[in-house]
Chain A
């Protein structure tokens, strides 16, 4: 499943190292986002507790999906 990892404020300058630690816990890192201090990626659902325990991680959240109505809809 897809995860959004929030890096805590203290570890934002070392976000690449946090990403490395997440990789070693089984996260297939998609993006390391410096400006917002977030890391996105995917991995098996059961690795979530391990990801949450990584030093520098504030939270790990499952991905939410968003869907617009179709183009022909009057309300969008």
Chain B
């Protein structure tokens, strides 16, 4: 279950309302569900939805039955006494029944998911961001997945990464891959950093990934298309499943090279995630816009959330062009992660910090499912936790770690 402690009215120990009937789910291989109900549970009056052809099986027509079997779904609704329910549950031991569950009463959803508001905070064990994306209850680590972080490089002297396999490359003329800014080391920390440290909270989402640190922004923080695209090419040549780019320019139009680059990356099994941008000031009513390259149709744009899972004030809104949408959101306010030695750690904010949360989560899903490219994109969006905020700001919501 992916549910924060205060996320909804159903999570606070209320007993669900039930009808007294049961929902039986049959194994995929079970060919004769009506026969099973008659034999195992001794039911005489079994209706099969197949008898209705393409017509709906209405309550009027099925109301008198002990059981109605929906064969196309492999599901039945049954009125079973306790003895019959036990008999059906026993069938699960034989592999013919997957589950027997009380039928729940469903209600029209109220406007508000309800309850107290969420608020995360860093603990001695875990940053608030890692708690919010539920990595603490995920068994996945990103092991076997290669993640490229294209940024200001990496501080190779950082002790939290000793023993990790890290490949570095510089695409900035005249500079080594050593991070002279701090931004790159921070982003690598969030996406791929450790899950336990000697001092302070763990801050890394996908802590067993293989790291590819490409320096595409110089120590001054500046870079250009040539280096960034070369970095993407390098990451693809090394079979990185996820490419994280916490960079952008405030350009209110799609920059064509990234349309081709993003599509070709997806075709070859690499998902590019990029920062939506920090050009909003929501405190002043300015919602900004998603800049390049995140506004390209095949690059996943990531917005930033604060500890209450509200939009961070600087997080850019969807640019109303094809591809210009915010796709997902991640923790991006007061994010604790690795920084240049000797400082070692730093807490900063930005869609730059939300992006590596999403990249790390993508690596976990890549490990959990084997999915790559478009399938991985689709899964990330599908599995995001919906938030009660405009989709132009949060896309499909908060990225979440796989739980099983």
A-side residues, CB < 8 A to B, are 2, 4, 6, 30-31, 33-38, 40, 58-59, 61, 63-71, 73-76
Contact = CB atoms under 8 A, between A and B. Distances in A.
A58 B260 contact: yes
Interface of B: 152, 181-183, 186, 217, 221-226, 228-230, 232-234, 236-237, 246-249, 251, 255-257, 260-261, 264-265, 268, 278, 292, 314, 348-350, 352-353
Given A36-B233, A76-B352, A68 B256 contact: no
B225 A40 contact: yes
B264 A36 contact: yes
B348 to A, nearest CB: 5
Contacts of A74: 348-349
A64 B265 contact: no
A76 B353 contact: yes
A68 B219 CA distance: 10
Contacts of A36: 229, 232-233, 236, 260-261, 264-265
A61 B278 contact: no
A65 to B, nearest CB: 5
A38 B233 contact: yes
A6 B245 CA distance: 20
Contacts of A64: 224-225, 249, 251, 255, 292
A4 B226 contact: yes
13 contacts: A31-B230, A34-B233, A36-B265, A37-B264, A38-B260, A66-B217, A66-B223, A68-B217, A68-B352, A69-B221, A70-B221, A76-B186, A76-B278
A2 B261 CA distance: 18
A68 B247 contact: yes
A65 B250 CA distance: 10
Given A64-B292, A71-B181, 20 more contacts: A4-B226, A4-B257, A30-B226, A35-B234, A35-B236, A38-B261, A40-B225, A40-B226, A40-B230, A61-B225, A63-B224, A63-B225, A63-B226, A66-B248, A67-B221, A73-B348, A74-B348, A75-B348, A75-B350, A76-B350
A73 B234 CA distance: 30
The 8 A-B pairs at the shortest CB distance, nearest first, are namely A68-B221, A33-B233, A35-B236, A40-B226, A76-B350, A35-B233, A4-B257, A6-B260
